[in-house]
């Protein structure tokens, strides 16, 4: 389970475990799987745009 701690201003302080996350480029739709918080969200290798988190990849999903 991924535990995210929030500050009183609503910002994310830290994630306690390395979790697989699917990131995608908003311009060319290139996708990649990274592990957060171990890796930073990368830039797209094709168009150098900052990639966005698309989905947290977990074994069990909530409805």
The 3-class secondary structure across the chain, one letter per residue, is CCCEEECCCCCEEEECCCEEEEEECCCCCCEEEEEECCCCCCECCCCCCECEEEEECCCCCCC
Structural domain includes residue 40: yes
User: Does the residue 4 lie in any domain?
Assistant: no
Task: Provide the pLDDT for residue 23.
Answer: 92
Instruction: Give a yes or no: residue 29 inside a domain.
Output: yes
**pLDDT surpassing 70 at residue 63:** no
Is 3 among the domain residues?
Answer: no
13-62: per-residue pLDDT in tens? 445 578 888 999 999 999 999 988 777 888 999 999 999 989 888 776 55
Q: How many domains does the chain have?
A: 1
Whole-Å CA distances, 12 to 4, 26, 32, 40, 48: 7, 22, 22, 14, 25
Full residue range of the structural domain in which residue 24 is found: 18-56
Q: State the pLDDT at residue 62.
A: 57
Q: Does residue 24 belong to any structural domain of this protein?
A: yes
């Amino acid at each position: 389970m991924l535990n995210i701690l929030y500050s009183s201003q609503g910002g994310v302080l830290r994630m306690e475990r390395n979790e697989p996350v699917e990131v995608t480029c908003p311009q060319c739709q290139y996708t990649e799987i990274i592990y957060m918080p171990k890796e930073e969200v990368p830039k797209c290798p094709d168009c150098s745009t900052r990639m966005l988190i698309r989905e947290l990849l977990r074994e069990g999903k909530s409805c």
